[in-house]
Amino acid sequence: MEYEKSIKNRLKRIEGQIKGVLSMMEQRKDCRDIVIQLSAARNAIDRTIGVIVSTNLEHCVRESIEKGEGTEHLVKEAVELLIKSR
């Protein structure tokens, strides 16, 4: 499956956040500020996981419908992926 540019851009922003956290650590910033930034990066990762899973689910459901196949197993797989990611 080809991933959209917007998803790749999300990951690049997250990469920038992580680099920022490393810089903060090198500057000996307060641990609260570092934890806040790490939480923001984690939330961004969680949202990106949701976008990837939902985009993939939509793609797979369309394919299955076109083939005349059921889609219940696809939804179950998507939910399991989201649960494992937590």
pTM, 2 dp: 0.83
Q: CATH number, domain at 70?
A: 1.20.58.1000
Residues whose CB falls within 8 Å of the CB of residue 60, separated by 6 or more in sequence, listed in order:
71, 74
28-72: pLDDT as tens digits = 999 999 999 999 999 999 999 999 999 999 999 999 999 999 999
pLDDT at 1 over 80: no
Measured CA to CA in angstroms, residue 67 lies from 26, 46, 70, 71, 72 at distances of 55, 32, 9, 11, 14
Sequence-ordered list of residues with C-beta below 8 angstroms from that of 79, at least 6 positions apart, any chain: none
Q: Report residue 32 as tokens.
A: 């609260």
What pLDDT, on a 0 to 100 scale, did the predictor assign at position 63?
92
Report the number of distinct structural domains present in the chain.
1
Q: Quote the pLDDT of residue 47.
A: 95
Q: How confident is the model at residue 13 (pLDDT cuts 50, 70, 90)?
A: very high
Q: Which domain holds residue 51?
A: 5-84
Residue type, 51: V
